[in-house]
Amino acid sequence: MMHLPAQIAAYLPEAAGRAEDIGKSGATVLEYPGCFLKVQEDCNVSANEYNMLLWMQGRLPVPQIIAAAHEDGRRYLLTRRMPGAYLCTDALLDDQVRLAELCAGALRTLWAVDIATCPTRRTLDEKFREIEEGLRGGWITAEQAGDPTIYDVSKGGFASPAALFDWLARHRPEEDLVLTHGDLCLPNIFADEHGLTGFIDVGLAGVADRWVDIEKCLWSMWANTTGFFGGRVRPFDRQLLFDALGMQPDEEKLRYYGLLDALC
The answer to whether residue 183 is catalytic is: yes
97: Cβ contacts below 8 Å, ≥ 6 apart:
240
Q: Yes or no: say if 123 and 130 are a contact pair by the CB < 8 Å rule.
A: no
Catalytic option among 21, 166, 176, 183: 183
Q: What amino acid occupies position 216? A: K
Q: Yes or no: say if 181 and 202 are a contact pair by the CB < 8 Å rule.
A: yes
Q: Yes or no: say if 121 and 212 are a contact pair by the CB < 8 Å rule.
A: no
Rounded CA Rg of the chain: 19
Q: Which residues are catalytic?
A: 183
